[in-house]
Structure 1
Amino acid sequence: PADQDWEDFLLEFEDEPKPQRSVRCSPAPGPFRPCLHLLGSWMIRGGVWLIAAISLVSNSLVVLSVFLSPLSSVTPPKLLIGLLALVNGLMGVWSGWLAAVDAWTFGSFWRFGVKWDSSFLCRLSGFLCLFASQTGLFLLTAAALERCLWSGAAVRSDRPDGSSGCLLTPPAVRLSICVCFLLGVAVSLPPVITGNTSTSFCLPLPSSSSSLAFAVSLVLFDSLCFLIMTLAYIRLYCRSNKAPPTSDEEVALTRHVAWLLFSDCLLYLPVASLSFSSLLRLPVAGPEAAKGILLLVAPLPACINPLLYLLFNPLAREELAALTTHTCTGGATKRRGAAGGEPLDLTCDEDAEKQSCDSTQ
């Protein structure tokens, strides 16, 4: 009987409902104001992690191939491409930042949401995203104009290097780079100063008249940049038959900038459509679709731009191969020196051989 009573007690205890802790967020949560998870669905979460990884790795390879490869001479177009990769890497840092915050607050974002939205780190995250996207667009515009001016100088001088073009001097290119970075800072600072972020992703989405005016002016300015780049390349291709034969490197760089312009323009169309639909209050895309565009489509140029250079530009493969060989050779030389061996000085041997031949003659 005692065993029967104990079994009945256990059954009654198991039948009692266990208290469940329910979380109620106020105001009502949504795609841009999450309650439990910052990134929401696993598809967006996986996409953000993938974008961060590809962007950081591929842009790092482009920067190494442009600035550190022994075969690479940093000409004005390659300088612009290398800096574009450096800025695109910042977009990968932003995506990785959001992914890290989502992982840290997984399932309990409601505990940190208010602090995160009003924190300096959130503002810095928004600044990083805006600065990377806008400065990358300005650098791409400068690269397209540089290619157009280089082609015009080559036609006028009948020389493939275009050395007679006064607008193509390295100081002028450096000045244009400084202007691009200053414009990027000027465009990205207002949301940081005013704290004008209406989402947990720290982006200045239109929620008031001032933020709406800022978003619209930004979209119009970006559209003007794409229009300038398109007109510059149309002019370049219209006079390509008049230009003298050019080197393979210049042709590859011109083609690469054209691919960048085409891909970035295609990826910018959904972002521009989303901005104009918000301006006109048209239900073109729901909140979930808008969230996917901002987190997955807007950062895509930071992944595609370096991949286009690494996969379809023969210069990149040669530069990376030379950098790898140089690094391995340098490491082997250091190990040989540490072991007490003396590395062979091929230059001295060649000079001695030439001197002996001259003396024989």
Structure 2
Amino acid sequence: MCRRLDANHITSVPEDSFEGLQQLRHLWLDDNSLTEVPVGPLRHQSNLQALTLALNRITHIPDNAFANLSSLVVLHLHNNRIQEIGKNCFNGLDNLETLDLNFNNLKTFPEAIQTLPKLKELMLRGASMMQDFPSLTGTINLESLTLTGTKIKSIPPDLCEDLTVLRTLDLSYNEIEDLPSFQGCVRLQDISLQHNQIQQIDRGTFQGMTSLRVLDLSRNQIKFIHRDAFLSLSALTNLDLSLNSLASVPTAGLSALNQLKLTGNVELRNGLMSKSLPKLRSITVPYAYQCCAFVACDSAVNSAEDDERRNAFGAFKPCEHLLGSWMIRLTVWFICLVALLFNCLVLAATFSPRTSPLSPARILVALLASANLLTGVYVAALTLLDAVTWGSFAEYGVWWETGAGCQVVGFLAVFSSEWAVLLLALAAVERCLAVRALMGKAGALRSSGERRERRRRFGIAALLLGLVSVAAACLSLYHGSAMDSPLCLPFSGGPGSGLGFTVALVLMNTLAYLLSAVVYTRLYCRLGRAQLADPEQAGSVRHIAWLIFTNCIFFCPVAAFSFAPLLAGTSNAVGGPEMAKSVTLIFFPLSACLNPVLYVCFSPSFRYDWLRLRGRGRAGGCSGLQVAKGTVAGGSAASDDGEGLSNDCGMYTKLHGDARGMCEHCDAALHISTSSSSDSSSSSACRHLVKSHSCPALMANGPQCLSSEGYWPDTGTFSAQSEYGDEGDSFVSDSSEQVQACGRACFCQSRGLPLVHYSYNIPRLTD
């Protein structure tokens, strides 16, 4: 017979409530409002086998409260407010096997439990004020002991002497620091010691426990385990050592192990020997590379064995080669070599010695080459790592990802890529302002102070953008997103804690590219064909346009794979990790490779710098950098970049082609100038300077360089030469202003460029 009186808000039980119920076997009085044990009504229930008084408000259990319940087997007193238990409260419970005292307010362990010789299961959870381990003398038949959520710091060394038949021991969520020897607990099958303060496992801790099947030591502070600590655990099938501070794990004696958990041991960088774990079917490890010892990471897991490999590895966690296939490897090598070579070439040509300061456009190009060079260094580090760890990357992958090398390389990669994107946006703004000033103030030449102020402003802007890039790179290290893969990039294509930072980084780059595109679109809409017809004037504008276009194209695949986990919730959403890795390896550094190539191949400025650089290295030729400082009408200052390219006289032949007859007067003037300017020199060299957006007028009916009056006719046309012009668009000599005009005429005539009259006069040539 059973009586269910639970959840009835009962506050008291009358004395005669159960009279006549001699066959009552189970009585549920849980989830009521009882404040004391109903001793009187239970006095005559000698046949009662199960009593539940849980979820009440009982605070005290008096002596002999259950004296007449000799047949009671199960007693539940959990979730009350019991603070004290009488020493003789359990007298008469000779057949009690299960006692549940979970979640009460007990301060000390009740001694009355020692009077329960047939007790098999004791549960005492949540006694947060209990500090001493209880004495269990007399409970010789105890098979299951649960004592969790207390402040117990030690286990008595004679525990197994009193509990020889113990099978399950749960001492989790305590403050235990040291473990005694469990050698006497030969029948113990399950031990739970998680969430304590255990620091080491000695050799004799689990000695002789041949029946132990489950051992949970997770969430402790274990730093050391003796190499023979598990030697006698021949029946152990489940071992949990997760969330500790282990640097190594002994595997001797674990031949029967099926499940091993090691996650959270960040110091565990060495791999495991699969030969010592022949029956292992499930393993969780802190680093995916440690799975490589148990299964080939590049192949599918054998479904017949039904193995479960946690912390899934893949293309971003390679076992053998970092760069994967030979096609990817050769492509990355090519990108690396081109990026290093061409960026160094651009920097050498731009920063070669000169007498005048660089223009803002040249400064931005040089800074962009510097950022791209750092990206090339990043790619070089990956290629070197792939070569050093050839065929065995899993042995070094953990050390690489967690070491300082990956942090430094990742910092360089993020910093250089972000700085390049921001510098490109700044270059677009600079070109737009330059062209607008050129169109609106065609004849106005600024003073040297204004030019210095303009260079200073763009220099400060580039510095601020560099600081923003440094902050972004530091944030990638702080979030740890750059260390989620051996590529040391936040664009690994997988979900993680750094996904938000990755998305923010991609959005910032997208806004920068959008700004560049909008600025340049408006610039081209405002420019007419007449202004763009001059290739020298439009050279730098086209160069920045090509950079914006190519960089946007290369950025899109990387951004797509960065957003894929956010949109689809899985790293396999777009082509899988193999595709994501290939895209990242190729398209991330590709702009750093192509940017200097575009500048070297298509920018007139680089050609002039390169010829000037070559001219400085020639022996016996005409070399050196000269500055033209001709005066103009109205007392205007010289142009923004008073620098040019020096070369020998043969350069005129290359530039003139079939138009040599046009410049006979110029050649004569050149010989006169060179012979009169240097009597002591035997060299017949002539020096020329390249200047932008200006060509003198020639007479309509002949190639002569001088008018009848010996002057250039004044047409009143504004000079296109300004402080915003790029270096190297027209030739100007340093001999005299008359020779300058002749040089410009020869250069413009040879290239078929429109001839623009100057608003100033050139003095007559005097003998």
Q: CA deviation at 1:324?
A: 1.9
- Structure 1 alignment gaps of length 5 or more: 1-20, 334-346, 355-360
The one-letter code sitting in structure 1 at the alignment partner of 2:600 is L
Partner of 1:200: 486
The Cα offsets for residues 333-361 of structure 1, whole Å up to 9 and x where unpaired, read as 9xxxxxxxxxxxxx99854549xxxxxx8
Match among 516, 541, 549 for residue 229 of structure 1: 516
Partner of 2:458: 173
Query: 1:253 and 2:567 equivalent?
Result: no
Match among 127, 146, 151 for residue 430 of structure 2: 146
Match among 589, 592, 610 for residue 299 of structure 1: 589
Partner of 2:382: 98
Partner of 1:75: 359
Partner of 1:323: 613
8 Å CA contact 2:389, 2:396 repeated in 1: yes
Structure 2 Cα separation of the partners of residues 259 and 168 of structure 1: 28
Structure 1 Cα separation of the partners of residues 381 and 579 of structure 2: 21
Structure 2 Cα separation of the partners of residues 240 and 308 of structure 1: 23
Structure 2 Cα separation of the partners of residues 271 and 278 of structure 1: 13
Structure 2 Cα separation of the partners of residues 72 and 55 of structure 1: 28
User: SS where residue 328 of structure 2 aligns?
Assistant: helix
Question: Is the alpha carbon distance of 1:238 and 1:225 closer, same or farther for their aligned partners in structure 2, counting shifts above 3 Å?
Answer: same
Question: Is the alpha carbon distance of 1:168 and 1:258 closer, same or farther for their aligned partners in structure 2, counting shifts above 3 Å?
Answer: farther
Q: CA deviation at 1:42?
A: 1.3
8 Å CA contact 1:116, 1:200 repeated in 2: yes
Query: 1:185 and 2:470 equivalent?
Result: yes
8 Å CA contact 2:343, 2:596 repeated in 1: yes
The Cα offsets for residues 73-118 of structure 1, whole Å up to 9 and x where unpaired, read as 6210111011101110111111110000111111111221111110
Question: Is the alpha carbon distance of 1:161 and 1:131 closer, same or farther for their aligned partners in structure 2, counting shifts above 3 Å?
Answer: farther
- Quick check: which one's helix share is greater? 1
Q: TM-score, normalised by structure 2?
A: 0.39
Q: CA deviation at 1:252?
A: 1.0
Question: Is the alpha carbon distance of 1:323 and 1:125 closer, same or farther for their aligned partners in structure 2, counting shifts above 3 Å?
Answer: same
User: SS where residue 29 of structure 1 aligns?
Assistant: coil
The one-letter code sitting in structure 2 at the alignment partner of 1:181 is G
Q: CA deviation at 1:124?
A: 0.8
Partner of 2:577: 287
8 Å CA contact 2:361, 2:431 repeated in 1: yes
Per mean C-alpha deviation after superposition, the further-off stretch among 241-250 and 297-306 is 241-250
The Cα offsets for residues 216-243 of structure 1, whole Å up to 9 and x where unpaired, read as 1111111111111111111111221399
User: SS where residue 298 of structure 1 aligns?
Assistant: helix
Partner of 2:528: 241
User: SS where residue 182 of structure 1 aligns?
Assistant: helix
Structure 2 Cα separation of the partners of residues 210 and 160 of structure 1: 56
8 Å CA contact 2:425, 2:516 repeated in 1: yes
8 Å CA contact 1:63, 1:82 repeated in 2: yes
Question: Is the alpha carbon distance of 1:269 and 1:165 closer, same or farther for their aligned partners in structure 2, counting shifts above 3 Å?
Answer: farther
Rg larger for: 2
Structure 1 Cα separation of the partners of residues 523 and 446 of structure 2: 14
The Cα offsets for residues 24-68 of structure 1, whole Å up to 9 and x where unpaired, read as 367553100111111121111111111110000011111112121
Per mean C-alpha deviation after superposition, the further-off stretch among 89-98 and 320-329 is 320-329
Q: CA deviation at 1:284?
A: 2.2
Structure 2 Cα separation of the partners of residues 56 and 72 of structure 1: 27
Question: Is the alpha carbon distance of 1:42 and 1:158 closer, same or farther for their aligned partners in structure 2, counting shifts above 3 Å?
Answer: same
Partner of 2:503: 216
8 Å CA contact 1:256, 1:313 repeated in 2: yes
Structure 2 Cα separation of the partners of residues 300 and 71 of structure 1: 35
- Quick check: which one's strand share is greater? 2
Q: Matched residues, percent identical?
A: 36
Structure 2 Cα separation of the partners of residues 261 and 291 of structure 1: 24
Partner of 1:17: none
Query: 1:24 and 2:294 equivalent?
Result: yes
Question: Is the alpha carbon distance of 1:116 and 1:348 closer, same or farther for their aligned partners in structure 2, counting shifts above 3 Å?
Answer: same
8 Å CA contact 1:87, 1:136 repeated in 2: yes
User: SS where residue 306 of structure 1 aligns?
Assistant: helix
The one-letter code sitting in structure 2 at the alignment partner of 1:112 is Y
Structure 2 Cα separation of the partners of residues 42 and 110 of structure 1: 18
User: SS where residue 169 of structure 1 aligns?
Assistant: helix
Question: Is the alpha carbon distance of 1:279 and 1:245 closer, same or farther for their aligned partners in structure 2, counting shifts above 3 Å?
Answer: closer
Partner of 1:66: 350
Partner of 1:8: none
Q: CA deviation at 1:314?
A: 2.7
Q: How does 1:334-349 map to 2 (within 5 A)?
A: none
Structure 1 Cα separation of the partners of residues 353 and 543 of structure 2: 19
